[in-house]
Amino acid sequence: MHLTLRDVVARAESQGCELVIENIEDKEPRDRIALAASFGSPAVQVSLDTGHAHYAHVSTGAPPVDVHVNLAGEALRHVHLQDTDGHADRHWQPGEGTIRWPGLFAALARLAGRPRLILEVRDQTSLRRGAAHLEALGRRSRAGLRAGPRRPPARS
């Protein structure tokens, strides 16, 4: 792989751009992180697709999405935000599946850097709905930080 990508990596370095290696069905996220690091170049970093990671978590027992972020750390430069039920690569709007978004964004908030966040969904006509879901999570999170811990709502 290094021989195949040698010229591509050199060109990326000379142009000041980054190549990112994305997860597909990674059971062990450390493998992709190690692969990116093995190039020894700041031009080769890591990408995370939330739907791919959640699918691997549910279907193969891979770590949950937030663990991918924690393990990648500052090598994480690009995140495809999409939701799924964990049974296929759905590319649903955030909030339509079962990804635990608060945990994912808590992990992202701990990073010193700020990876690019891209909504990667099938239905472009409802893109604003997915973005609004993430914005609402952010507002609730910030409010919770100001107000301190809250009790969960009572269940009937």
Cβ atoms of 81 and 134 closer than 8 Å: yes
pLDDT at 144: 59
Report pLDDT digits (tens) over 133-148. Answer: 999 988 877 665 444 4
Tokens 């990112």 correspond to what residue?
20
**Tens-digit pLDDT profile for residues 47-88:** 999 999 999 999 999 999 999 999 999 999 999 999 999 999
pTM, two decimal places? 0.88
pLDDT of residue 50: 98
Other Cβ atoms closer than 10 A to 59: 13
Q: Quick one: pLDDT band at residue 152, thresholds 50, 70, 90?
A: very low
The C-alpha atoms of residue 126 and residue 128 are separated, in whole angstroms, by 5
